[in-house]
Structure 1
Amino acid sequence: MATTMSWEDKKRFVRRLAGGGRGFADRYGFRVTNNPASLFQLLYLSILLRRPGDPRRAAQTAQALRDQGWESAARMSRSAQETRAATLRSCGRRDADELAGRLGDLAALVTERYRGDLRRLRGVAKYDAVRERAALKRLPAVDDEVVDLFFREVQALWREVPPSADRRALTAARRLGLGRSADDLAALAGSRESEKLAWLVGALAIVDLDDRYQQIAA
């Protein structure tokens, strides 16, 4: 349902979409701040969003993990696998045992390799997004799609991350006639180095998730 709009109309449209000043993670209660706990939560939220199932339930599962006190890599690494699995099962995860193991491995490796702080990963990668992607993919349960979801959020903080948009956001952008790439969206947002792009991409992802195309077009 691509719409025909002038460039200025598109810019006004994306300003309205991003006007809430919140990205996808923030809308689900995960603050996007450059501290170790926040970054680790964004990473495991991205892993949960990557897995099959309802993204809302994935966000609720991430909230449940955080509510158990596992807001940091160090704390999650000290938790028992069965306790993690029980929490995941209570959220309806059929893969609870396997996922609990993967999250435990993730937390342990982030704690061991980066002292629980993904900012150290960034430093080791010399603030280069390609190296950051490669380093993240060496962590358990992290693949390119997880990195895309993580970068979608942290591009507001990590200025070296290129304009990043996940599959849902790009689907919405295409259907709304706003472009086909993260670069297209960055041009409309007005800056490659602004949290405005993260807000826009998050808003578009939610439009697709909630199937709000008719409402938005109206």
Structure 2
Amino acid sequence: MGDNQKTAQALLERQGQTYTEEAGIRLADRPGPLYQLLVLATLLSTRIRAGVAVAAARELFAAGYRTPSAMEAASWQDRVDALGRGHYRRYDERSATILGTGARLCLDRWHGDLRRLHREAQGQPAQLRRLLTSFPGIGPTGADIYLREVQAVWPDLRPYADRRTLSGAERLGLPKTPQRLASLVDEAEFGRFASALVRVALGEESAGAVAREAHR
């Protein structure tokens, strides 16, 4: 096993949990989990710590807002309160509005099923990004978050590595192209690997600690 593969394995052992899993989403190619990931990507898109966004998503889901129908049916104040319980307070009122509007768009355009979005884009990343950014609160960064995480269940996207993934790879001295990074791990693990690299880019994981683990 080469040094880069050792580094990749050490990172996966230290940071094997995706943001989706941390938010309590059991990701699958089904309407509910795909919508829940959209909510998480919306919350992660703001200038707030990832841990706070994850906590806010967990509170929304615990309140029962796991489908676009449930999210839209909740009152604006109920959404604000759930976000507040996750300490998502700087953006709670704006995000409560955005989540309600986005839920209605999901229902109107995609009948609550983002598999339809995937089919319309024919699995093409550029088309998927364009369609995802039609949701309020989802810009290029949010679309990248969604695609990075959803590649675990949309394998036609693999290997998908956004700017933050590649930044994390650079900090670890790993290759800076998706294809070369993908060669370091099993295909099914690439989404998890990409998420772990983002944690390095954001400073949630120490590049030095990963390097020391890899060379024990």
TM-score class, shorter-chain normalisation, is 0.7 to 0.9
| Residue number among 55, 60, 64 corresponding to 1:60 in the alignment | 55
- Map of 2:19 onto structure 1: 24
Contact 1:24 1:205 in 2 (8 A): no
2:93 is the alignment partner of 1:101: no
| Residue number among 171, 174, 187 corresponding to 1:175 in the alignment | 171
TM-score normalised by L of structure 2? 0.87
- Map of 2:195 onto structure 1: 202
- Map of 1:76 onto structure 2: 71
SS at match of 1:30: coil
The CA distance in 1 between the partners of 2:102 and 2:171, in whole Å, is: 36
The CA distance in 1 between the partners of 2:33 and 2:71, in whole Å, is: 13
Please give the root-mean-square deviation of Cα atoms over the aligned residues, in Å.
2.0
2:10 is the alignment partner of 1:13: no
User: 1:207, CA displacement in angstroms?
Assistant: 3.3
Q: Structure 2: give runs of 5+ residues left out of the alignment.
A: none
Q: 1:24 to 1:95 in 2, by over 3 A?
A: closer
| Residue number among 131, 134, 142 corresponding to 2:130 in the alignment | 134
Is the deviation greater in 113-122 or in 16-25? Answer: 16-25
Aligned residue pair count? 209
Contact 2:23 2:57 in 1 (8 A): no
- Map of 2:83 onto structure 1: 88
SS at match of 1:189: coil
Is the deviation greater in 159-168 or in 117-126? Answer: 159-168
Counting only pairs closer than 5 Å after superposition, residues 111-122 of structure 1 correspond to structure 2 as 111-122=107-118
Q: Structure 1: give runs of 5+ residues left out of the alignment.
A: 1-6
User: 1:122, CA displacement in angstroms?
Assistant: 1.2
Is the deviation greater in 65-74 or in 121-130? Answer: 121-130
- Partner AA of 2:66 in structure 1: E
- Partner AA of 2:74 in structure 1: S
- Partner AA of 1:210 in structure 2: E
User: 1:21, CA displacement in angstroms?
Assistant: 5.5
TM-score normalised by L of structure 1? 0.86
Contact 2:158 2:190 in 1 (8 A): no
Counting only pairs closer than 5 Å after superposition, residues 32-47 of structure 1 correspond to structure 2 as 32-47=27-42
Q: 1:52-78 CA distances to partner (integer Å, 9 max, x unpaired)?
A: 111101100010111110011111011
- Partner AA of 1:68 in structure 2: A
Q: Percent identity?
A: 30
- Partner AA of 1:125 in structure 2: A
The CA distance in 2 between the partners of 1:204 and 1:21, in whole Å, is: 10
- Map of 1:160 onto structure 2: 156
